[in-house]
Amino acid sequence: MILTPETGALLFATGLCAGFVDSIAGGGGLIALPVLLSAGLPPQLALGTNKLQGTCGTLTATINYIRKGEVRLKEALYGIGFTFIGAAAGAWAIQQMDGGFLKHLIPILLVLVFIYTVATPKLGFSEKKPTLTTPVFYLVFGLILGFYDGFFGPGTGSFWTAAFLLLLGLNMTKAAGYTRVMNFTSNIVSLTVFIIGGNVWFAAGLCMGAGQIIGARAGSGLAIKKGAAFIRPVFITVVFLTIARLVYVNYVR
């Protein structure tokens, strides 16, 4: 496929917007994937290319959260390991079968996340006592969400952020930071599997990735500076739009 200047400009701008939003509250795929599909890419190629551009953004945001002291990699090693395993299995599975059964489950789970977050206005403003030990938390959610991100993807950042807030008791800024670490892990693993399967359009992915780097740097910087008061409304909005997008694609269109 040939990347024209017009398409390249559109993809760069899309990556910029997606990187900004994703570094704060997840949901960058909500912006990027429809654009890739509208450019005429078949679903598996669009998914693989989306992983390439998303990896650029999550890496940039992760580095920023680490540099600002919001994330300590030593505390995330269990999560990285189990997410690695789950994402590899999920990315392999989606290239072997249809992920249609997830289309009906994910909007329901996201609605629950949305309702609980809206109904708990102080969620994420301060740290709380965890309800799961860190190894158990990462074992369960690393495998499940890693697999889901490799297999399907939409809403992964929202699920990770909600899990960090509710079960590990992190504040909103740290939850956003550790979510980026897990997203980067599943993205890079999934990307590797998609590359092996020949399902990545590098020209488009790198063009979007350049935009992602700029957007992720700006978005993560704002999230770290302004904290929960800024992240919370963005998070709620992203979850709502993800639900709306999935409902439209699955039941309306």
Assess contact for 45 and 200: CB atoms under 8 A. yes
Q: Would you tell me the crossing angle of helices 156-167 and 228-247 to the nearest 10 degrees?
A: 130
pTM of structure = 0.89
Amino acid of residue 92 = W
Q: Rounded mean pLDDT of 52-60?
A: 95
Contact indicator for 17, 146 with CB cutoff of 8 Å: no
Is the pLDDT at 102 greater than 70? The verdict is no
Closest CA to 143 of 176, 182, 192: 182
Question: In which domain, by residue range, is 84 found?
Answer: 5-252
Tell me how far apart the alpha carbons of residues 189 and 177 are, in angstroms, rounded to a whole number.
Answer: 19
Size of the chain, expressed as the number of residues it contains: 253
pLDDT, average across residues 223-242: 92
Highest mean pLDDT among 79-83, 112-116, 189-193, 231-235: 79-83
The number of distinct structural domains making up the chain is: 1
Contact 149, 190 (CB under 8 A): yes
* pLDDT exceeds 60 at position 29: yes
Residue 97 predicted with pLDDT over 70? no
The half-sphere exposure of 182 on its side-chain side, counting CA atoms within 13 A, is 35
- For residue 161, which amino acid is it? T
Residue 72 identity (one-letter amino acid): R
In terms of Cα–Cα distance, which of 156, 164, 171 is closest to 137?
164
- What's the one-letter identity of residue 64? N
Would you say 17 and 34 are in contact if contact means Cβ atoms under 8 Å apart?
A: no
Contact 209, 15 (CB under 8 A): yes
Give the pLDDT score at 87.
93
The string of pLDDT tens digits covering residues 33-43 is 889 988 888 88
Half-sphere exposure of 181 (CA within 13 A, CB side): 24
Q: Describe the crossing of helices 156-167 and 134-151 by its angle, rounded to 10 degrees.
A: 170
Average pLDDT, the chain: 90
Predicted confidence band of residue 75 (pLDDT cuts 50, 70, 90): very high
Report whether 8 contacts 201 (CB < 8 A): no
Tell me the CA distances in angstroms from 132 to 156, 166, 167, one per residue in order.
20, 10, 6
Inform me whether the pLDDT recorded for 72 exceeds 60.
Answer: yes
Report CA dihedral (163, 169, 172, 175) to the nearest 10 degrees.
-50
